[in-house]
Every structure is written in structure tokens, then in C-alpha cells.
Chain A
């Protein structure tokens, strides 16, 4: 079964750091670019970051640029999001999602998300 499972979400104080992980299974992980997308409680979806299949290219939303770092370890079938200088507005459910070139680079597989709460 094709699956993405996020982990690492916790309650953290403003200014703190956190690393999220996304474990992939059921497909050849290094064939796919990957994204992080977040959803604040009761709000819509917001794109966070993109990484190419080999990790050679990364892109970020302006709201997280300079604070978040996306990375991947293809030998471990894992995607990561290092989050520094966290703010209250970073509170959200964080999803990892797979890009499928067969669907014009649309996200075709999403995880169930991991919740990050930034609060003192």
C-alpha cells in the first residue's frame, strides 16, 4: 500500500525548533518530488515547501523562508522539515504530499498530518 506517515508534531514555545518527519512506503521514494503543506485549525491549505527527487532543489513559501529547511534521505525513504524560530502563526497540521508527474505534477498521495502547536 502506498503510504505517507508524518510524525514529530508537538507543542513548542515561540522561538523554538522542531523537526518533522514523513516516512514513505509502498513506492519508489526517490522517483518523486515531495512537498510539505500545512493547515491551520479551521483554515485552508497553505503550501510550505518543495524538494526535488534528489534533494538538489528546494523551494519555500515566503512565510517560512529562512526559518524552515526541507530535506530528504532517500536511503531511509524519509522526508524532513526542520522548523526554527517558530511563531504562533506556524500552528497547523502539517502534511507531506507526493508529486506525481503522471498527474501533471499534482499531489496524488497525502499523509494524515502531524500537529504542530506553537504556544507559551
Chain B
């Protein structure tokens, strides 16, 4: 079975541009979460989507948005890019949402975003 897939693997943008990152969860998983990982730090929670609805949001500005599609894939959008948005963006899928007890998350390889 395919694991979590993310595209693109690498991306270079300039300040002020916007970017769309994509994630396909493991087949059968209904929850997708997005994380930002700056070099040398642990991942920071951005969003969780479950059954196409936002179920959780981290401390990120409104420039960050996401959505989940009927096939449970997801997109993360970032507008008005800043240099500080340069990071590895990780997507994780799980069967259920956090609120229904712990659910093992499976992570994709990430998208490396560089903002110049």
C-alpha cells in the first residue's frame, strides 16, 4: 500500500508569492494534518482536517489556509510568503481525529519550501 504522498518535494518561491502544497493520505484514512518544521526544531502544528472539516488550528497567521477534498486529499495554501516561511512542510494522515482518543499518525516525506 502507498504511504502518505506529498507534492512537490521541493519548491522555491520569492517573497510575496503564494504557494499550494498537496497531500494524499493513506487509503482509508480520513484525517490529514499539516505541520511546519523549521530546521533544527520539532514540527509545529498548523491544521487538522477530518471528514473535510477543520478540526484543529495551530498558532499560525491567516495567510495559512487549507482544505480537504471528498477523496480526503488536502491542500495547504500560504499567501504573501515571507522569508520565515521557509521550512519543511509535513503532512500526516490518520484514521480518526485527535479528539477521539489517540490516533497513530503516518507522515509523508514533506515538501521543502524555500522563500527567497
**Is B one of A's binding partners?**
no
Which B residues are closer than 8 A to A by beta carbons?
none
